[in-house]
């Protein structure tokens, strides 16, 4: 991994993956006026046979009070989400356009949705994650975002954003941008804070 400074952040360069022949470049930039960070992830195909891939970004965070996913009005997934592991996350529920869940402390759990906005709610702050979207076939049956929860004693979760699949040949590149926005908790109820954060989207 190499790192080079840029005007508002840093650019990270990976070594090429020997199996896929792809170099990953991450452009990490802080917003000068807002508590926000943008990460533009770029895949560059530099060697080997053509491969079908999609940009997949994983954000690992500590155990939240609750996680929310803003679901789109028009959906193709039956049940509005896909269960990707045998066990469901704890407290999974859907109220209107908001899907929410907690970490399952006993077993691994994972779901996928077509929603492009996630919200991690901690005790004192929240982090909203917005994924760039566009046309195309998405992995895991059409998932734009996925949430994984890890059991005890490693109390963490993973918030994942996925890009559409593309077949890449040498010299080609694909990219996707994910935006992270931090904000304070204002209500004792995480559902109330989530409705406030997504007020313009509901």
pLDDT given at position 190: 96
pLDDT given at position 1: 74
Nearest to 120 by CA among 40, 64, 201, 189: 64
Low-confidence ranges of the chain (pLDDT < 70): 202
N residues, the chain: 202
Q: Where are the domains of the chain?
A: 2-197
pLDDT given at position 202: 64
Per-residue DSSP letters for 27-58? EEEE-SSSSEEEEEEEEEE-SSS-EEE--EEE
Strand partners, 159: 59, 147
CA–CA gap between residue 148 and residue 55 (Å, rounded) = 17
pLDDT given at position 77: 77
**Class of the domain covering 2-197:** mainly beta
Q: What angle do CA 44, 45, 49 make, to 5 degrees?
A: 165
pLDDT given at position 112: 96
pLDDT in tens, 113-158: 999 999 999 999 999 999 999 999 999 999 999 999 999 999 999 9
CA–CA gap between residue 120 and residue 109 (Å, rounded) = 16
């Amino acid at each position: 991994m190499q790192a080079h400074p840029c005007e508002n952040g840093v650019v990270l360069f990976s070594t090429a993956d020997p199996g896929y022949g792809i170099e990953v470049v991450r452009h990490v930039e802080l917003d000068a006026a807002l508590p926000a960070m943008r990460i533009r992830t770029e895949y560059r195909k530099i060697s080997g046979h053509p491969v079908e891939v999609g940009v997949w970004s994983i954000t690992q965070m500590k155990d939240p009070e609750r996680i929310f996913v803003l679901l789109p009005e028009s959906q193709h997934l039956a049940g509005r989400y896909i269960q990707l592991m045998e066990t469901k996350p704890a407290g999974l529920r859907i109220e209107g356009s908001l899907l929410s869940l907690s970490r399952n402390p006993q077993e691994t759990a994972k779901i996928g949705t077509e929603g492009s906005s996630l919200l991690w709610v901690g005790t004192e702050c929240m982090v909203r994650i917005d994924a760039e979207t566009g046309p195309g076939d998405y992995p895991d049956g059409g998932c734009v975002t996925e949430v994984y929860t890890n059991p005890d004693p490693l109390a963490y979760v993973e918030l994942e954003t996925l890009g559409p699949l593309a077949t890449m040949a040498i010299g080609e590149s694909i990219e996707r941008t994910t935006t992270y926005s931090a904000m304070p908790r204002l209500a004792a109820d995480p559902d109330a804070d989530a409705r406030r954060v997504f007020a313009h989207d509901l």
